[in-house]
Chain A
Amino acid sequence: MSRLHGWQEPWDIVVGLFKGLAITLRQLFSKPCTIQYPEERLVWPPRTRGRLVMPRDPETGKVRCTACMLCQRICPNGSIEITTRTNEAGRRELADYVHHLDRCTFCGLCVEICTFDALRMSHEHELAVEDKTRLKRRLQAEVIQFDNTWQGGLRKE
Chain B
Amino acid sequence: MRNLETDYPEALKTEEITLNMGPQHPSTHGALRLILRLDGERVVSARPDFGYVHRGLEKMAESLSYVQYIHITDRIDYLSSIMNEWSFCLAAEALAGIEVPRKAEYLRVLTAELCRISSHLVWLGAMGMDLGAFTPLTYTFREREMVLELFDLLCGQRMTFNYFRLGGVVRDLPPEFTKQTQAFIKYFERLPDIYDQLLSDNPIFLIRMRDIGHLSPATAHSHAVTGPNLRGSGVAQDLRRCEPYSVYPDFDFQVVTCQEGDALARYRVRVEEMRQSARIVAQVLEGLPEGEVRSKVPRVLKIPPGEAYVRVESSRGIQGFYLVSDGSVKPARCRIRVPSFANLSVLPQLVKGVKVADVVAILGSLDIIIPEIDR
- Contact B157 A106, beta carbon cutoff 8 Å: yes
Complex formed: what's the CA distance from A75 to B65 in Å? Answer: 10
Q: Is the CB of B71 within 8 A of A8?
A: no
Q: How far is the CA of A105 from the CA of B171 in the complex (A)?
A: 19
Asked whether any CB of chain B lies closer than 8 Å to the CB of A141, the reply is no
In the assembled complex, the Cα of A19 lies from the Cα of B206 at a distance in Å of: 14
Q: Is the CB of A47 within 8 A of B153?
A: yes
Bound complex: CA A28 to CA B207 (Å): 27
Closest chain-A Cβ to B272's Cβ sits at a distance in Å of 19
Q: Indicate with 1 or 0, residue by residue over A124-154, a CB within 8 angstroms of chain B CB atoms.
A: 0000000000000000000000000000011
Q: Does A39 contact B (CB under 8 A)?
A: no
Q: Is B178 an interface residue (CB 8 A)?
A: no
Contact in complex: A109, B207 (CB < 8 Å): no
Assess the A108–B156 pair: CB atoms within 8 A. Answer: yes
When the two chains form their complex, are residues B210 and A6 in contact, meaning their CB atoms are under 8 A apart? yes
Asked if A74 is at the interface of the complex by the 8 Å CB criterion, the answer is yes
Binds A, one of B94-102, B195-203, B344-352: B195-203
Against B, the Cβ 8 Å flags (1 = close, 0 = not) of A72-99 are 0011100000000000000000000000
In chain A between 1 and 35, which residues have their CB closer than 8 angstroms to a CB of chain B? 4-8, 12-13, 15-17, 19-20, 22-24, 27, 33
CA distance A46 to B194 in the complex (A): 33
* Minimum C-beta distance from B66 to chain A (A): 11
CB < 8 Å neighbour of A16 from B142, B203, B211: B203
Interface residues on A, range: 35 or more
**Assembled-state Cα–Cα distance A46/B139 (Å):** 27
Residues of A within 8 A of B24 (CB): none
Known: A6-B211, A23-B198. A107 touches B71 (CB 8 A): yes
Taking the complex as formed, is A49 at the interface, i.e. its CB lies under 8 A from any CB of chain B? yes
State in angstroms the CA–CA spacing of A105 and B69 once bound together. Answer: 12
Q: Would you give the 0/1 interface string for B159-202, flagging 1 where the beta carbon is closer than 8 Å to chain A?
A: 01010000000111010000000000000000000100111011
CB <8 Å contact, B206 and A48: no
**1/0 contact trace for B130-167 toward A, CB 8 Å?**
00000100010010010001001111110010100000
A binding-site residues for B, Cβ under 8 Å: 4-8, 12-13, 15-17, 19-20, 22-24, 27, 33, 44-49, 74-76, 105-109, 112-113, 121, 153-154, 157
Q: Chain B: residues with CB nearer than 8 A to chain A? A: 64, 67-69, 71-72, 135, 139, 142, 145, 149, 152-157, 160, 162, 170-172, 174, 194, 197-199, 201-204, 206-207, 210-211, 299
Closest 6 CB pairs of A and B: A47-B156, A76-B68, A107-B71, A49-B156, A45-B153, A19-B197
18 A-B pairs with CB atoms under 8 Å apart are: A4-B207, A6-B206, A19-B201, A22-B197, A27-B135, A45-B152, A47-B153, A47-B154, A47-B174, A49-B156, A76-B68, A76-B72, A105-B71, A107-B160, A107-B162, A108-B157, A113-B299, A153-B156
